[in-house]
Each structure stands twice: as C-alpha cells, then as structure tokens.
Amino acid sequence: MRTLRWNTLSEAERAAALARPQQRMDATLRSSVAGIVEEVRVGGWDALRAAARRIDGAEPLLFKVAPAAAKARQWASPDQVAAIELAARNIRTFHEASLPRDVAVETAPGLTVRKVWRPIDRVGLYVPGGNTPLFSTLLMLGIPAQVAGVGEIVAVTPPCSGGSLDSFIALAAELCGIESIWTVGGAQGIAALAFGAGGIPKVDKICGPGSAWVAEAKRLVASLPGGPAIDMPAGPSELLVIADESADPRIVAADLLSQAEHDAGAQVILVTPSEQLAETVAQAVEVQLVDLPRSDIARASLASARLILVADLEESVAIANLYAPEHLSLAVENADSLVPAVRNAGAVFAGLLAAETFGDYIAGSSHVLPTDGAARAWGGVSAYTFLKAMSVQTVSPEAARRIAAPAAALARLEQLEAHARAADARLELVR
C-alpha cells in the first residue's frame, strides 16, 4: 500500500494516485472480449456452447431452481437460512417503499401532462459465480426487478465445478420468484443475453456486476445498434474510506480487506488527516492478511491501494468526489456532517458502525453500484432500474385554442413547416 501526501503531489501525480488499476483498461482484454461477443453474435447457440466449454469448462445448461434451493435449505443451518430470508425481506421493504409514483401536472388550463411508469418487458440478470457464487447479488437484482413488475427475468451465472448450479444462488432465485437459471458466465453470457442464443432469449436490458471481462462486454453490447441497455458500468469493486482519529484502525483495515478480497482488480483507498492512523491501519492490514483465506487475491488488489494523507476532512471529501467511488465509508466521529458535501459515490456508509458489509448483505438498498468513476453520473440498482417513464399529454378544446398558434410559431422558427401545420390543424377542430 503506497502512502502519499496529497498536498505535495502535482496535478498529474494526483490523477495517477486516483487512477483505476490498469488491467481494467487493458487493450488485450478489450480485444478478447470483442472477439467473444462477435463469435456469439454471428454463431449463435453453437458459438456460445463452444465459448462456454473453452472458458467456463462446461456447456450452458438451464437449471430449475427448486431442487437446488431445497438442498440449500437442507445443508444450511437454520440461522443461515434465516439470515438470507431477512436480507430478502429488507431488500423488498426498501424497494417497495421507493417505487416512483405517477404524476399529473396541468401546465396550462386544460393542458395536462402526466408521467407514468412501466416495467421493462424482459431483463437479463448477471450473477457472479464460479469459485465465488454471489447469491446476495441475485437478491439485490432480482427483488427490485420483481417489485418493479418486470415481465420476464432471465438470469445467468457461471457454473460451479462440474457444470452445476450453486445451491444458494438457487435459493436466492426462489426468494426472487425466479424459476430457472442458465449456467453460463463471462463475456459469452453477456453476449447471449444481448443477442439471444438457443433457449436464452434476447433481453431489453442487462443488469449486474462482474469482472473486468463482464463490465467490458456490457459496455460493448450496449454500444451496438439495437443492443440492450445496461444498468451501469459495474466492474471490480472499489472502496474509499475517509477516517479521522476516532476510527478504530483494526476496523478500517477490515473494511479495506473486505473489498480487496473480491478481485485482484479491486481497489481500496484510505484518505485521512492522521498520519498515525494511516500507519496503524497499514500494520493492521498486514496482521489480518496472515489468516485471510483469500489473502492472495487481497494482496494482488493491495498493489493498487493508496493511503492518502490530507490536511483535513474537507479535503478528504473533495478527493472522494474526484474519485467517485463505488463505496464510500465515512469512519469519522460526526459522519452526518460530511454527507451533504458528498456528491459522487455509489453508496455511503456514514459513521463508525456503518459497515460496508451491511450494505452488501442486509441493509436493503442494492449493492450493485457504479464503478470506475461512473458514480459521477450513475446511481446504484433500484426499482427505477427496471422501469421506464412515459409522458402522456391530454388537451382540452380550450387548451388547444390557447397553445396551437404559439406551437406553430415555434415550429416555423425552426423551419419545420409540417410541424406548424399539424398544430394549425387542431384549431380547425375546435373552432
């Protein structure tokens, strides 16, 4: 973990300090993803099967979730099952309460404009799997989609060893009302959702986080003519912690490692005005790495970690807004006082007790969040992600008499005569 003094850095050095890991922008990775996507687009099911055998180690299969979910309930302890069900309830409670409402506004007498919300017809959910099946991600995607009323949910996840479906992902699917899941991952899974392949239907929008390969595949298919929409750029995990002297170094270290263990491409940053805290946190990270099961992955991630020393907390927030992290932890004594100044973050964890882990699993808001600086313009997954807004306009005879001439005048200013005549024609109906 590199230690940097912010006020001694040039503008170029500051930009480098906040740069994402290079492997996320690797030209070879992008070229490889483009090749896989094109294979599936052109070759369909046969190409998908070949790519899945090569990369996943197994052909895509459609699994009914009920049998595997039953096994999960048998294998897990009652406390574990209760924890999963609690998470599902909290997620549903939050997203049901945050559903948008239709509105109607009379912008002029007799002229009413409404905004009405409709669910997306068919959505594809990508759930990270393989060696680390993230059943929690399916809850964070599937429940908001179900709450929004999506017509059809198509879920894909990389297979476990032997080409099987993880039982806890199946249990999460059951809690989301999803009856079956395809076992296919990576760029090939994203391409299958984007174009359709075999029994996997083409979807209108793809949602879910993943590796740099998945994030690049989502970006690529969304850029193609007729390609699906995507929820956001959601690649390898990020955490920026702002901490003051009140923070417990062991807890800060634990929070940093909780994201570093996700992926070698994950990035964690500590910003603090306390040099002593920075030193103690660095020591605590090394101590906790000793018996961390995923220490190899965490150490690889820590190569891109930063400890940034600043003058004060105000400067810390300014750095956070520049970096726009996926996760922002405010490990400070009076965290609420900093929240109003935060503009760019996927999720904020305010206060010494607000563990990022709570947001990952149990709080209720989705943990599928924008990465790579996308929090400057994107928010995390919510019920809104699976909805679209339409405007509906109704015009009374009185309103038509009032607005037809001004509308025609504006059209003629833009030299759009047919537009103007369409407005004039309404006057003939109401004379």
* CB neighbour list of residue 401: distance below 8 Å, 6 or more residues apart: 427, 430
DSSP string, 84-97: HHHHHHHHHHHHHH
pLDDT at 139: 98
> Phi/psi of residue 392, each to 5°?
-130, 125
Contact 283, 307 (CB under 8 A): no
DSSP 8-state assignment for residue 121: S
Place of tokens 């896989």: 36
Question: Interior CA angle at 17 toward 11 and 22, to 5°?
Answer: 120
Superfamily of chain region 25-231+383-387: Nitrogenase molybdenum iron protein domain (3.40.50.1980)
Residue tagged 């103690």 (tokens): 280
Residue 277 scores a pLDDT above 80: yes
Tell me the two tokens of residue 322.
């520049």
Q: If you average pLDDT over residues 73-102, what whole number do you get?
A: 97
| 131: pLDDT strictly greater than 90 | no
Query: What pLDDT, on the 0 to 100 scale, is given for residue 431?
Result: 81
0.95 exceeded by pTM: no
Separation between Cα atoms, residue 318 and residue 271, nearest integer Å: 11
Could you give the CA distance from residue 181 to residue 39 in angstroms, rounded to a whole number? 22
| pLDDT value of residue 24 | 65
Q: Find all residues with CB under 8 Å of 29, minimum gap 6, and list them.
A: 23, 212, 213, 216
- Alpha-carbon distance of 418 to 431, in angstroms, equals 21
- At 62, list the tokens: 């459609």
CA 190 to chain centre: 15
Distance of alpha carbon 232 from alpha carbon 216, whole angstroms: 11
Q: Stretch 343-372: mean pLDDT, rounded?
A: 96
Domain positions in the chain are: 25-231+383-387, 236-370, 396-430
Residue 130 has pLDDT above 80, yes or no: no
Coil, helix or strand for 326?
coil
8-29 confidence digits (pLDDT tens): 999 999 999 999 987 666 889 9
Of 94-98, 122-126, 129-133, 253-257, the poorest mean pLDDT is in 129-133
What per-residue confidence (pLDDT) applies to 79? 97
Determine the Cα–Cα distance for residues 140 and 19; give it in Å rounded to an integer: 28
Measuring CA to CA, how many Å separate 52 from each of 30, 94, 169? 18, 36, 19
- Calculate mean pLDDT across residues 94-115: 97
Give the bridge partners for 327, in sequence order.
239, 347
CA distance linking residue 304 with residue 2, whole number of Å: 8
Q: Which CATH architecture has domain 236-370?
A: 3-Layer(aba) Sandwich (3.40)
Query: Can you give the pLDDT at residue 375?
Result: 96
Mean pLDDT calculated for residue range 99-115? 97
Mean pLDDT estimate for the chain: 96
Report DSSP letters for 147-166, one per residue: HHT-SEEEEEE---GGGPPP
Residues involved in catalysis:
326-327
Rounded Cα distance, 65 and 82, in Å: 19
Q: What whole-number distance in Å separates Cα of residue 86 and Cα of residue 92?
A: 10
Q: What is the mean pLDDT of residues 117-133?
A: 93
DSSP per residue over 13-63, as a string? HHHHHTPPPGGGG-HHHHHHHHHHHHHHHHHHHHHHHHHHHHHTSS---EE
pLDDT band of residue 308 (cuts 50, 70, 90) is very high
Query: What is the band of 133 on the pLDDT scale with cuts at 50, 70, 90?
Result: confident
User: In terms of DSSP H, where are the helices of 149-290?
Assistant: 167-175, 186-195, 212-223, 249-260, 275-289
Averaged over 306-325, what is the pLDDT? 97
* pLDDT on residue 23: 65
Across residues 74-96, what is the average pLDDT?
97
Mean pLDDT of 197-226: 95
Pairs from 25-29 (Cβ < 8 Å, separation ≥ 24): 26/212, 29/212, 29/213, 29/216
